[in-house]
Amino acid sequence: MSEFTHVDGQGRVRMVDVGEKRSSKRVAVAKGTVFMSPDTLAAIGDETVKKGNVLETARIAGIMAAKQTGSLIPMCHPLSITHARVDFFNDKKNSCIHIEAEVSLTGKTGVEMEAMTAVSIAALTIYDMCKAHDKGMEISNIHLAFKSGGKSGTYTAPGLSV
């Protein structure tokens, strides 16, 4: 197992110095799911939720969150991301919405946390906009599905397709 990079020899947390690293194209894709009642899923799809268009609001929230990750997670570097997208896939059979976020840049550190933050905040926005209708919604399975670039190369989550 590799040692933790955000802890110094005395056990103090620190932000990793990426100043000497080479820049490379970096991409990360994260996924997650929001389970809900069939009625809630239908209301989102029909755009009849009283707070407005749930998925477009969640899309904007996810993109904004990706851009703010360095302010939210203490040891993350503030990054100038060059691309962010958040997409939604309604799954009537399982009464859920699957969320996928992709973030990229050319830089010295990866964008995995930005992609996972985008999915997390998009999911929380769906919950917030629909909680009056369905307090039992469940946010699940937020994970890194894919990353490329940097010293560690490419990663694809086992059993997953991007």
CA dihedral over 32, 77, 82, 20, signed as positive or negative: negative
Q: Which of 8, 39, 91, 128 is catalytic?
A: 128
Active site residue 128: yes
Q: What number of CA atoms fall less than 13 Å from residue 24's CA on the CB side? A: 18
Instruction: Please tell me whether residue 45 adopts helix, strand or coil conformation.
Output: helix
Whether the Cβ atoms of residue 156 and residue 97 lie closer than 8 Å to each other:
no
Report the DSSP beta bridge partners of residue 98.
Answer: 33, 89
**Cα–Cα distances in Å, from 112 out to 40, 94, 108, 118?**
30, 27, 13, 10
Tell me which residue of 15, 107, 154, 143 sits closest to 4, measured CA to CA: 15
Which residues are designated catalytic?
A: 128
